[in-house]
Amino acid sequence: MPPPAQPPASRAQVIGVVLFYLCAALAMVMANKWVLNETKTPLFFLMTQMFIAVILFLTADTLRMLPEKLSLEMRVCRGLVPMVGLSVLGLSLSNYTLKYVDASVYQVARGLVLPFTVGVSGVVLHTRPSLRILFACAIVTMGFFCGVFLDRIPMSLIGVGFGVASSTITATHSVVIKQSLEIVNKSTILLSWYTNLLSVFVLMPIVFLVEGTEVMKLLLDVDSLTREPGAISPLRTFVVGSLITGVVGFMMSLASLLSIKVTSPITHMVSSAVRGVAASLLGMWLFADIISAGRAASIAIILGGSVYYTWVKHLEQEAAKDYDRLPMADVERGQGKQPE
Tell me which DSSP letter residue 67 carries: S
| Confidence check: pLDDT of 332 > 70 | no
| Confidence check: pLDDT of 226 > 90 | no
| Confidence check: pLDDT of 201 > 80 | yes
Of residues 38 and 17, more confidence is placed in 38
Task: Assess contact for 317 and 266: CB atoms under 8 A.
Answer: no
Task: Assess contact for 302 and 257: CB atoms under 8 A.
Answer: no
pLDDT for res 205:
95
Nearest to 308, CA basis, from 146, 143, 145: 143
Cα 255 from Cα 233, distance rounded (Å): 33
Give the total residue count for the chain: 340
pLDDT for res 322:
65
Determine the average pLDDT of the residues in 18-47.
85
Of residues 21 and 49, more confidence is placed in 49
Category of 137 on φ-ψ map: left (φ > 0), alpha (ψ -120 to 50) or beta: alpha
Q: Is residue 333 part of a domain?
A: no
| Confidence check: pLDDT of 258 > 70 | no
Of residues 233 and 325, more confidence is placed in 233
Q: Is residue 185 part of a domain?
A: yes
pLDDT interval class at 331 (50, 70, 90): very low
State pLDDT tens for residues 294-317: 888 888 898 888 888 888 888 887
Task: Assess contact for 180 and 83: CB atoms under 8 A.
Answer: yes
Q: Is residue 298 part of a domain?
A: yes
State pLDDT tens for residues 135-175: 999 999 999 999 888 878 888 889 999 999 998 998 888 77
At residue 54's C-alpha, the angle toward residues 49 and 56, to 5°, is: 95
pLDDT for res 161:
94
Which uninterrupted H or E stretch holds 199? Answer: helix 188-219
pLDDT for res 251:
80
pLDDT for res 3:
44
pLDDT interval class at 271 (50, 70, 90): low
Cα 9 from Cα 140, distance rounded (Å): 32
Determine the average pLDDT of the residues in 225-232.
64
pLDDT for res 131:
93
Q: Is residue 273 part of a domain?
A: yes
| Predicted TM-score (pTM) of this structure | 0.81
Q: Is residue 335 part of a domain?
A: no
Domain with 213, as residue range(s), is 11-224+232-324
pLDDT for res 147:
87
Q: 88: which residues sit within 8 A by CB, 6+ positions away?
A: 46, 199, 202, 203
pLDDT for res 110:
87
pLDDT for res 106:
87
- Count of domains in the chain? 1
pLDDT for res 137:
92
- Read out DSSP for 141-185? HHHHHHHHHSSSSPPPHHHHHHHHHHHHHHHHHHHHHHHHHHHTT
Determine the average pLDDT of the residues in 175-195.
85
Nearest to 135, CA basis, from 269, 300, 322, 311: 311
Mean pLDDT (the chain, rounded): 81
pLDDT interval class at 260 (50, 70, 90): low
pLDDT for res 53:
92
State pLDDT tens for residues 93-147: 989 998 999 887 888 888 888 898 888 888 887 888 899 999 999 999 999 999 8
Q: Is residue 180 part of a domain?
A: yes
Q: Is residue 137 part of a domain?
A: yes
